Amino acid sequence: MAKKIAKKIVLEEHFLSPGIVNYWRPTVVDVEPKFAEQLYRRLTDFGDMRIETMDRAGITRMVLAISGPGVQAERDTATAVAKARESNDFLAREVQKRPDRYSGFAHLAMQDARAAADELERCVRELKFCGAMINGHTNGLYLDDPSFASFWERAEALGTPVYLHPVDPVAPSPALDGHKALRRATWEWGFETGSHALRLVFGGIFERFPRAKLILGHMGESLPYLLWRIDCRARLYGVKLKNPPSHYIKQNIWVTTSGMCAAEPLNCAIAALGQERVMFSVDYPFENAEEAAEFMDSVPLDEKTRADVACNNAAKLLGL
């Protein structure tokens, strides 16, 4: 095994709080029950099991976020707001037990944009969280909707990154009918989340809020590979932006390596966005932390780039 880097920070890493479990259970109905129970044990553990996994992988800090969809699947707004706050308070108590190893992303009830903005500010200022993770659309409403303007205004003012995490689409794509293995993490989630990010770009969110910060997992949900094509078709269809779409992807979006242990997409993301925009992550417990760490330690990179991707970029972006 290659010699481990001194430090690694990971930031697409999941947990469950007591009031959120029932939103998560439907996401594993197709998973073998024994494996689903193993995931549950890891998601609800903040002690030896998680810390030992981090130590074996050379991970010095893990930024924790709710395993989706969380309260974004809740139909009652008041319930969603209350449960999000409860979950954030729960996470803050766990982080306080190991502040040297854990940090937190806020969980937000996007059913009420102003309440979500207020909760984000509380989490950043009072609970010392370093951003938020939003699990895609909220009951079919995407983050480019005008109703979210107050949320983006607050996130920009706070300088707080928003991690856009995959979720099931509003309706399953008929193109995948008959191929169950293509749904969710294999292909469906990447398309859904990349499309959501492009809605923000094409919808002018980053023109209106030029200091907004968005994080995408899985090497950017294929967007780094498609920048030229996206710009070309935007011109063809007369998209009214001050700059090409790739400008906003390069200026407002960061990506992580979560769930992608291959040199080719890593090299593409670095070439397309710059090494300062790419950050290491695992997607624990759904991916193997030691496998991801071995990839980060051994993939051919110059050592400055390796250190930036493994740790420095996340530390700078999240203020860690």
Residue 58 has φ and ψ, to the nearest 5°, of 70, 30
Question: Could you tell me the pTM of the whole model?
Answer: 0.97
How high is the pLDDT of residue 4? 60
DSSP state of 261: -
The string of pLDDT tens digits covering residues 247-287 is 999 999 999 999 999 999 999 999 999 999 999 999 999 99
How high is the pLDDT of residue 277? 98
> And the tokens for 153?
């205004």
Write down the H helix ranges in 126-259.
Answer: 149-158, 188-202, 205-208, 218-221, 227-236, 245-252
The string of pLDDT tens digits covering residues 221-248 is 999 999 999 999 999 999 999 999 999 9
Task: Give the residues of the chain that fall short of pLDDT 70.
Answer: 1-4, 6
Integer Cα distance of 245 and 224 in angstroms: 12
How high is the pLDDT of residue 213? 98
Kindly give, in sequence order, each residue whose CB lies less than 8 Å from that of residue 52, ignoring residues fewer than 6 positions away. none
| Amino acid (1-letter code) at residue 306 | R
How high is the pLDDT of residue 293? 96
Beta bridge partners of 215: 163, 254
Integer Cα distance of 252 and 144 in angstroms: 14
How high is the pLDDT of residue 29? 84
Strands (E), the chain: 9-15, 61-66, 102-104, 132-134, 162-164, 214-216, 253-256, 278-279
30 is an active site residue: no
Query: Considering 112, 144, 168, 283, which one is annotated as catalytic?
Result: 283
How high is the pLDDT of residue 1? 46
Instruction: Kindly list the distances between the CA atom of residue 217 and the CA atoms of 93, 259, 302, in Å, as whole numbers in the listed order.
Output: 26, 8, 22
Integer Cα distance of 56 and 51 in angstroms: 9
Integer Cα distance of 278 and 269 in angstroms: 7
Beta bridge partners of 159: none
How high is the pLDDT of residue 264? 98
- Domains of the chain in sequence order: 9-318 (3.20.20.140)
Closest CA to 260 of 296, 304, 297: 296
> And the tokens for 307?
């250190």
